[in-house]
């Protein structure tokens, strides 16, 4: 998601949250007679009159279509893939375009990290996160893994990936997940 979508989500969530809290507090206050001069019933005579007019079905239909469009736009903006498939490499100009398979580069970096002692498995991918190109490496490590060794290997692999891709705007994110149990080797009888 982009920054604009995140900002709109937060503002809408805040406004809806405050509105729901206020409505809930008002409802409780009304129920337990904490609001002075509150009527026993709410009556909206204009609403009954409005529903009998000729324009009411058209207005409710238009409101429904508008809500469906807003909902579809919201879904599309939230489920856009952040993955980067191709990277434009240094040396590209008007005579030609040099590209690399971003997923293959990140996967190779992850595979290299599985050769490190204490790393059980890994995966890698390139994403666009808030307008920045990020290489994400996810590692599952053994509970007894030496974090210093894993950190040194992750830093070296990130440095190598940065050098191979040749993009100064490439950022790195390495996430460590600790396995619940030590991997036991299979027994042969």
Burial 54-75 (b: 16+ CB within 10 A, else e): eeeeeeeeeeeeeeeeeeeeee
More confident residue, 11 or 94: 11
26-30, 42-46, 135-139: which has the minimum mean pLDDT? 42-46
Find the mean pLDDT for residues 42-59: 87
Q: Which CATH number fits domain 86-178: 3.20.20.70, 1.10.3210.10, 3.40.50.1820, 3.30.70.1350?
A: 3.30.70.1350
Enumerate the domain spans of the chain: 3-78, 86-178
- Give the integer Cα–Cα distance in Å for 156 and 136: 14
């Amino acid at each position: 998601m982009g920054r604009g979508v995140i900002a709109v989500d937060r503002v809408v969530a805040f406004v809806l949250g405050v509105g729901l809290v206020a409505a809930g507090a008002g409802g409780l206050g009304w129920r337990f007679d904490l609001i002075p001069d509150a009527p026993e019933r709410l009556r909206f005579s204009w609403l009954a009159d409005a529903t009998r007019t000729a324009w009411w079905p058209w207005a409710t239909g238009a409101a429904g279509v508008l809500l469906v469009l807003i909902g579809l736009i919201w879904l599309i903006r939230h489920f856009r893939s952040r993955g980067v498939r191709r990277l434009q490499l240094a040396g590209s100009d008007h005579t030609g375009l040099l590209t690399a398979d971003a997923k293959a580069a990140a996967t190779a970096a992850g595979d290299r990290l599985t050769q490190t002692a204490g790393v059980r498995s890994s995966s890698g991918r390139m994403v666009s996160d808030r307008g920045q190109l990020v290489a994400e490496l996810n590692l599952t490590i053994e509970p007894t893994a030496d974090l210093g060794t894993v950190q040194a290997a992750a830093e070296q692999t990130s440095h190598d990936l940065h050098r191979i891709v040749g993009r100064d705007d490439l950022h790195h994110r390495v996430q460590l997940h600790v396995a619940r149990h030590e991997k036991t080797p299979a027994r042969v009888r």
